[in-house]
């Protein structure tokens, strides 16, 4: 079942050696450090938001965040690509269909799902001035969607549906588009004029939340596991 | 022991447990869980490092931003890994990769 005892012993020794080394390095770190906090707070009035974490994500280091939303899309492409040829463009969710949890799960999901939507919406709204934001809100909404799928209260969209694909890429497209918007002037890619930063960031975050939620929920639903409907692109 | 030291050593312990699991365990789902342990350790270390006391009392928001996107990327990577593991299990009938040179390993 597992590796033979000798190999496991070696693995344990190797892991402990490595862990010990990392622990030693970590303990050498200065106990007090400002890191980039001073810089981040100094630029905050020009970032368009008053939550420094959102400022880092969607302003100072937005290039990084843009690429990370691209990683989500690539992961979804990877998951969808692992289906059988005849299922390409079909509906995902084999795992949910296999699960027969009885009546408890749907009853629980009916209670918890509205709360999930409320919490997700609040996190998105709070992101500009308090802990929260697109990634947090998207994750909560995706978890809610996953519960709806597992409780069989909702069916996932067909992976060939143009609508579903549009929702999944909308966040990346909006983010990228906002980055291009002011490049005609003296500004660089993803550099926003301070006066317009807030509306831009809130718009990007809203679209991003929906896309992240849809992408994560479809990742959980898995690869298409049934052939697509013969005509049209219905759900 | 300062708060930072405690959290940082916990993070290193999580990472070490994950590293051991990744090497010693054969079942692909266990290995994926092990990698998530390692990721959890890294996220905890970043969070602890950001909260080290500073002269001006500010908390560094940059590691926090890295952790929040990191968690979402880790979730999507885990989903991709689990899908691959399920595909491998469906194709080979075993949730373990064939190991070359492992004595007595018949994939069981």
From B9, B20, B80, residue closest to A79, measured CB to CB? B80
Specify the 3-state DSSP secondary structure of A92: strand
Measured between beta carbons, the chain B residues lying within 8 angstroms of A21 are none
3-state secondary structure of A189: coil
Q: Is residue A173 pLDDT above 70, yes or no?
A: yes
Residue A109's nearest CA partner among A124, A96, A90, A123 is A96
Q: B 13-52 residues with CB below 8 A of A? A: 13, 15-17, 19-20, 23-27, 45, 49-50, 52
User: From CA A235, how far away is CA A219, in angstroms rounded?
Assistant: 17
Q: Which helix (H) or strand (E) holds A226?
A: strand A224-226
Q: Please check whether residue B7 touches A, CB under 8 A.
A: no
Which chain A residues in 8-67 lie under 8 Å from chain B, judged by CB atoms?
8, 11-12, 14-16, 18-19, 22-23, 26-27, 29-38, 40-41, 52-53, 55-57, 60-61, 64-65
B11 vs A4, higher pLDDT = B11
Where do runs of H (alpha helix) occur along A82-230? 94-98, 104-126, 134-150, 162-181, 194-221
Tell me the ipTM for this assembly: 0.88
pLDDT at A14 over 90: yes
pLDDT of residue B103: 52
Mutate to test the interface with A, among B10, B47, B62 (most CBs of A within 10 A): B62
Q: Which residues contact A168 (CB under 8 A, 6 or more apart)?
A: A73, A76, A211, A214, A215, A218
The pLDDT score that the predictor gives to residue B108 is: 40
Task: Compute the average pLDDT of residues B92-102.
Answer: 78
What pLDDT was estimated at residue A232? 53
Residue A95 confidence class, pLDDT cut points 50, 70, 90: low
Mapping DSSP to helix (H, G, I), strand (E, B) and coil, where does residue A151 land?
coil
Is the distance from CB of A145 to CB of A217 less than 8 angstroms? yes
Q: Which tokens in the block code for residue A76? A: 């979804």
Q: What is the DSSP letter of A86?
A: G
Pick from B16, B25, B80: CB nearest A75: B80
Averaged pLDDT, A186-211: 93
Judge whether B64 is closer than 8 Å to chain A, CB to CB. yes
Output the pLDDT for position A97: 65
Q: Is A201 an interface residue toward B (CB < 8 Å)? A: no
pLDDT category of residue B24 using cuts at 50, 70 and 90: very high
Contact present, A198 and A48 (Cβ < 8 Å): yes
Percent of chain A with pLDDT over 70: 94
How sure is the predictor about B16, in pLDDT bands with cuts at 50, 70 and 90? very high
C-alpha span between A181 and A183 (Å, rounded)? 6
Structure tokens, A201 = 């960031």
Report, as an integer, the average pLDDT of A77-100. 82
**Chain B, nearest residue to A133 by Cα:** B68
Residues in CB range of A1: below 8 A, 6 or more apart: B26, B27, B108
Cβ–Cβ gap B54/A22 under 8 Å: no
Which pLDDT belongs to residue B57? 75
Residue contact A78–B80, C-beta within 8 A: yes
Radius of gyration of chain B (CA): 18
Average pLDDT, whole number, for chain A?
90
What is the token pair recorded at A118? Answer: 């409320």
- pLDDT tens digits along B45-77: 999 888 887 767 788 899 999 999 999 999 999
Name the residue among B5, B15, B73 with its Cβ closest to that of A19.
B15
In the predicted model, is pLDDT for residue B7 greater than 50? yes
Comparing CB atoms, the residue among A16, A64, A71 nearest residue B16 is A16
Least confidently predicted of A113-117, B5-9, B31-35: B5-9
Q: Is the pLDDT of residue A174 over 80?
A: yes
Contact A56 B62 (CB under 8 A): yes
Pairwise pLDDT comparison (B10 vs A97), residue with the higher score: B10
Collect all residues of chain B within an 8 Å Cβ-Cβ radius of residue A82. Answer: 83-84, 87
């Amino acid at each position: 079942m597992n590796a033979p005892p000798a190999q496991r012993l070696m693995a344990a020794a190797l892991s402990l050696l490595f862990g010990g080394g990392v622990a030693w390095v970590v303990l050498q770190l200065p106990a007090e450090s400002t890191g980039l906090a001073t810089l981040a707070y100094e630029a905050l009035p020009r970032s368009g938001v008053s939550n420094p974490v959102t400022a880092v994500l969607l302003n100072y280091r937005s290039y990084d965040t843009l690429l990370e939303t691209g990683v989500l899309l690539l992961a979804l492409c990877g998951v969808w690509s692992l289906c059988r040829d005849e299922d390409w463009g079909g509906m995902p969710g084999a795992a949910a269909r296999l699960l027969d949890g009885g009546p408890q799960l749907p009853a629980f999901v009916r209670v918890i799902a509205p709360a999930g939507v409320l919490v997700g919406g609040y996190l998105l709204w709070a992101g500009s001035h308090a802990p929260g934001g697109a990634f947090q809100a998207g994750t909560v909404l995706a978890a809610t969607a996953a519960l709806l799928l597992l409780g069989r209260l909702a069916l996932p969209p067909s992976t060939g549906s143009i609508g579903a694909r549009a929702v999944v890429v909308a966040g990346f497209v909006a983010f990228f588009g906002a980055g291009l918007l002011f490049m005609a002037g003296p500004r660089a890619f993803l550099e926003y004029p301070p006066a317009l930063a807030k509306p831009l960031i809130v718009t990007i975050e809203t679209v991003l939340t929906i896309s992240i939620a849809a992408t994560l929920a479809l990742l959980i639903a898995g690869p298409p596991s049934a052939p697509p409907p013969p005509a049209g692109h219905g759900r | 022991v300062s708060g930072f030291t405690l959290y940082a050593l916990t993070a290193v312990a999580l990472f070490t447990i994950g590293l051991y699991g990744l090497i010693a365990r054969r079942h692909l789902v266990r290995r994926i869980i092990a990698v998530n342990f390692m990721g959890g350790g890294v996220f905890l270390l970043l969070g602890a490092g950001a909260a080290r006391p500073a002269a001006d009392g500010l908390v560094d928001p940059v590691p926090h931003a890295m952790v929040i996107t990191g968690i979402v990327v880790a979730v999507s990577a885990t989903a991709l890994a689990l899908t691959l593991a399920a595909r491998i299990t469906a194709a080979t009938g075993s949730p373990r990769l064939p190991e070359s040179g492992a004595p007595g390993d018949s994939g069981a």
